[in-house]
């Protein structure tokens, strides 16, 4: 009964965690997408006006254009290419889910952020409840993985191995397996999908899973590349379970 109850609690926690992220993603998308569209239209008009009159601009007008351009880029609007690129949103569901995941995990790349008053207020409350939920979720997943460690240790003990050696081998097994699954293999995936070098993929994976999150490398942000649907959702799930692996290492 206790085992069934524990599994049920874990299943409810996992379901609740992902439902929380899904609801957060939907709300961020609803609050931010219209404002972003207006910003992109303004950036497109600014670019068109510049191209028509750039030979006649004064120094002051040129400086104002540069300020507007920098502000647009900081807000995630890149006025390059044709108008079809302005139809792609930074706040589609995949990007919104990815953003929600980086909020509760406290990575905070800084390349995507809410700009409307409603989005900013919602982000405060979303993080206020989401960060503790994320900690509980990671603790529970880490606990589940710890049970695998105990089973592995019990198996080795029955084979006649000493306890100190078992502890060392268990830690070594989960350390090397985690490095392979959460650092080495994803870096190959990022190399192919993003066009980064393998070392850049390793760097991004480590900076992300350590929650440093500089924001110098972020997935799905290159305008000249085509990404498959829900690419960033998969990356968000990788981050979640990668953080659980980090939590397991701390427990060990």
- Chain centroid, CA 80 distance in Å: 25
Give the model's pLDDT for residue 2.
60
Closest of 215, 214, 222 to residue 193, by C-alpha: 222
**DSSP result, 38-101:** HHHHHHHHHHHHHHHHTTT--HHHHHHHHHHHHHHHHTT----S-GGGGGS-TTSHHHHHHHHH
Contacts of 146 (CB under 8 A, 6+ apart): 248, 251, 252
Angle, CA 233 vertex, CA 241 and CA 13 arms, to 5°? 50
**DSSP result, 3-25:** HHHHHHHHHHHHHHHHHHHHHHH
Residues with pLDDT less than 70, the chain: 1-3, 79-87
Its pTM stands at 0.84
Domain ranges within the chain, ordered by starting residue: 1-59, 93-251
Q: How many residues does the chain have?
A: 252
Give the model's pLDDT for residue 58.
81
Give the model's pLDDT for residue 1.
66
Fold classified for 93-251: Helix Hairpins (1.10.287)
Residue pair 142/247 in contact (Cβ under 8 Å)? The answer is: yes
Hey, how many other C-beta atoms are within 10 angstroms of the C-beta on 85? 14
Number of H-type helices and E-type strands within the chain: 8, 0
Residue whose structure tokens are 């994320």: 134
Give the model's pLDDT for residue 36.
85
pLDDT tens per residue, range 6-20:
778 888 998 999 999
CA pair distance 217, 208, nearest whole angstrom: 9
DSSP designation for 180 = I
pLDDT tens per residue, range 32-81:
988 888 888 888 788 888 778 777 778 887 788 888 887 777 777 776 66
Give the model's pLDDT for residue 46.
82
CA pair distance 182, 176, nearest whole angstrom: 10
Per-residue b/e over 14-34, b at no fewer than 16 CB within 10 Å? eeebbebbeebbebbbebbbe
Give the model's pLDDT for residue 153.
83
Does residue 37 sit in helix, strand or coil? helix
Residue pair 115/35 in contact (Cβ under 8 Å)? The answer is: yes
Closest of 27, 34, 193, 179 to residue 103, by C-alpha: 27
């Amino acid at each position: 009964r206790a085992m069934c109850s524990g599994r049920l609690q874990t299943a409810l926690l996992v379901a609740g965690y992902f439902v929380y992220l899904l609801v957060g993603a939907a709300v961020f998308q609803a609050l931010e997408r219209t404002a972003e569209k207006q910003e992109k239209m303004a950036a497109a008009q600014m670019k068109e006006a510049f191209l028509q009159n750039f030979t006649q601009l004064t120094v002051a007008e040129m400086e104002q254009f540069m300020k507007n351009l920098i502000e647009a880029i900081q807000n995630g609007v890149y006025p390059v290419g044709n108008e079809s690129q302005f139809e792609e949103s930074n706040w589609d569901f995949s990007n919104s889910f990815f953003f929600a995941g980086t909020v509760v995990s406290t990575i905070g790349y800084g390349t995507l952020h809410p700009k409307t008053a409603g989005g900013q207020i919602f982000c405060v409350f979303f993080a206020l409840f989401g960060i503790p939920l994320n900690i509980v979720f990671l603790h529970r997943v880490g606990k589940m993985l710890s049970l695998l460690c105990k089973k592995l240790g019990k198996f080795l003990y029955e084979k006649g191995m000493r306890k100190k050696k078992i502890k060392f081998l268990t830690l070594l097994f989960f350390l090397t397996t985690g490095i392979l699954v959460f650092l080495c293999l994803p870096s190959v995936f990022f190399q192919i999908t993003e066009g980064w070098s393998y070392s850049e993929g390793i760097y991004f994976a480590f900076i992300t899973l350590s929650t440093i999150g500089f924001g110098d490398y972020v997935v799905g942000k290159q305008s000249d590349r085509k990404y498959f649907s829900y690419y960033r959702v998969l990356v968000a799930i990788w981050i979640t379970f990668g953080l659980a692996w980090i939590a397991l290492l701390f427990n060990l």
